[in-house]
A and B are shown apart, each in its own frame.
Chain A
Amino acid sequence: MNIMTNDKGGSGVKRARTGGSNSLGANAEIGRKLKQYYDGLVSEDVPDRFAELLSQLENAEATQKKD
């Protein structure tokens, strides 16, 4: 804030702007990449073994109940 009012040459303004856009821009890019990385994993095809496993667990329980 003081830079804006005190600095007549303009270099201070440039420093402030550079610092601000840096950290914000970098964080935004990291956020985007994080989502891209994770969404790629989420949208992978799920192997059949998991649905089969759950069906086995379900069947095992049904058998237990009959006993």
Chain B
Amino acid sequence: MAVAAGFKNDLLAAIPSLRAFAMSLSQNADKADDLVQETLVKAWDKHESFQMGTNLKAWLFTILRNEFYSQMRKRGREVQDSDGIMTARLAVHPSQHGVLDLEDFRAALEKLPDDQREAVILIGASGFSYEEAAEICGCAVGTIKSRVSRARSRLQDMLQIAGEDDFGPDAIAAQVMGSTAA
């Protein structure tokens, strides 16, 4: 069957999002573009399995994600187990008024386990619903929710984000008091 007219344009339109997702996953521009290229070729070959009217972006993200993990396995890299990883605190200066430097944020994001990073990107940045993200990652909705929540708290921890009241020994004392009182 011929590739439907318009499919090529839809693929073209999806490339910026695919590259952003690939960069988020691989943290490497060359690898990201290879992933996108592989995704486009696979999508073209498998276009018959795409159901018109369904979410093309989610379908493409699924292909790209599968490609990412299969390449990682080929390279012999262990797929990260989020529970086995210690998150080191970054040497960042607690920002004033809770505003973070983008570079610090990028570095913290890079240190997240792969499964947590992809979950928080899909939900917090790519605009997918929890259901769509679960489908893309081939897991339960509850798993996505817990990964997103762990990702958020790890990011907070690494970046030592705190409200302005939290700086200084007084705030620490207040937290200790707060936790014993609770």
Contact = CB atoms under 8 A, between A and B. Distances in A.
B162 A22 contact: yes
A31 B15 CA distance: 23
B143 interface: no
A28 to B, nearest CB: 8
Contacts of A57: 3, 8, 40-41, 44
27 contacts: A15-B178, A18-B171, A18-B178, A19-B178, A25-B98, A25-B161, A25-B163, A26-B156, A27-B152, A29-B98, A29-B99, A29-B161, A30-B156, A34-B109, A37-B106, A38-B125, A38-B126, A41-B23, A47-B33, A50-B36, A50-B40, A51-B12, A54-B8, A54-B40, A54-B44, A57-B41, A61-B2
Query: Interface residue tally of chain B, by bracket?
Result: 35 or more
A3 to B, nearest CB: 8
B16 A22 contact: no
A44 B16 contact: yes
Contact of B109 (A11, A19, A37, A61): A37
Contacts of B139: none
Interface in B1-59: 2-3, 8, 11-12, 15-17, 19-20, 23-24, 33, 36-37, 40-41, 44
B37 A49 contact: yes
Interface residues of A, number: 37
Contacts of B78: none
A44 B178 CA distance: 46
A-B complex: 6 closest residue pairs judged by Cβ atoms = A38-B125, A41-B20, A26-B161, A33-B105, A34-B124, A15-B178
Interface of B: 2-3, 8, 11-12, 15-17, 19-20, 23-24, 33, 36-37, 40-41, 44, 98-100, 102, 105-106, 109, 120-121, 124-126, 152, 155-156, 159, 161-163, 165-166, 171, 174, 177-178, 181
